[in-house]
Amino acid sequence: MKRAIYPGSFDPITNGHLDILHRACEVFDEVIVLVAVNPNKHFNFTPKERVEMIKDAVKGMKGVTVDYYEGLTVKYAKEHNAPHLIRGLRAVTDFEYEFQLASANEYVDESIDMVFFMARGDKTFISSSAIMELANSGVDVSKLVPDSVYQKIKK
């Protein structure tokens, strides 16, 4: 049984995240979408809201569960017997950040490895922050996020 973690802020989850998740499910039997909880960072949505929106968006996806965690993702991965962390790459800027993250993770626990998926061409511009900026300016983002997020943003 191959189990992986897909960690992130998911503030909120977007169709870009979902695309990575669908592709990860082709490789892994079980994927835990892990919402990062960082009390020192400002988020648009609470961990509970982010988890609820993801749960709704992944309904019916086999092998996918959702959880949240305050602490190092590698520690969560070790505790849950999931030696792979899934991440997505959109641009060179992502690469630099992810490369640093991978090195730091390796320093903490080298038994945990990272697996990267390249963003699909039509999803490279999608980020949680861009979605919120567009939505706050009145742009219709219904094609960029799952319905659970769209309904929440509309409110």
Query: Which residues have a catalytic role annotated?
Result: 17, 41, 90, 128
What are the CA-CA distances from residue 11 to residues 22, 59, 107, 117 (Å)? 19, 18, 27, 20
Q: Which is nearer to ligand ADP, 16 or 47 (CB)?
A: 16
Smaller CB distance to ligand ADP: residue 99 or 136? 99
Q: Which residues bind ligand ADP (CB under 6 A)?
A: 8-10, 14, 16-17, 20, 36, 87-88, 90, 94, 119, 123, 126-128
Shortest distance, position 10 Cβ to ligand ADP, whole Å: 5
**Structure tokens belonging to residue 55:** 């749960």
Q: Judged by CB, which is closer to ligand ADP: 16, or 146?
A: 16
Kindly state the tokens that stand for 105.
Answer: 């993770």
In whole angstroms, how close is the CB of 42 to ligand ADP at the nearest point?
12
d(CA 34, CA 66): 6
Our CB check for ligand ADP shows the closer of 10 and 150 to be 10
Q: How far is the CB of 41 from ligand ADP (least distance, A)?
A: 9
CA proximity to 118, closest of 15, 21, 50, 20: 20
**Residue 17 backbone phi and psi in degrees, to 5:** -60, -45
Length of the chain: 155
Question: How far apart are the C-alpha atoms of 75 and 87, rounded to whole Å?
Answer: 17
Minimum distance of ligand ADP from residue 94's CB (angstroms): 5
